[in-house]
Amino acid sequence: MSNDSGNILLAVLTGAIVGVGAGILYAPDKGEKTRKRIKKNALKTKEDISNRISQATDELTKTAEAKKVDFEQKLEDSISNMSYKADDIIMTLEAKLAELKKKNAQLQK
């Protein structure tokens, strides 16, 4: 999870805790009603946090997949480029070898 997602999650949890505490302190209802309301709010907060975590996970997965595809393409391009350069080096070396063989043959005469 990215740092921003962690900060958002911490803010949501803090807000939920503060909200529940304020609800208890200022609740005009009886204890049973207050507990039901707190439970309802806690379940709603839990669901909200679960949804946010799910969304963050989905976004992270999409980003990771996009970066993977990008990396694979760059790697393939680099390998292809190196292959062309290797072919050029081999051709140059073969030409030099042929030239040296020719000179060696002349010197052998």
Segments forming the whole domain that contains residue 68: 3-108
Q: Per-residue pLDDT averaged across 21-48, rounded?
A: 77
Tens digits of residue pLDDT in 72-88: 999 998 888 888 888 88
Tens digits of residue pLDDT in 1-20: 456 777 787 788 788 778 77
* pTM of structure: 0.47
- Cβ atoms of residues 42 and 20 within 8 Å: yes
Look at residue 14 in the predicted model and tell me its pLDDT.
82
Q: Per-residue pLDDT averaged across 41-52, rounded?
A: 86
Q: Is the dihedral of CA 19, 21, 22, 26 positive or negative?
A: positive
Q: Per-residue pLDDT averaged across 88-105, rounded?
A: 90
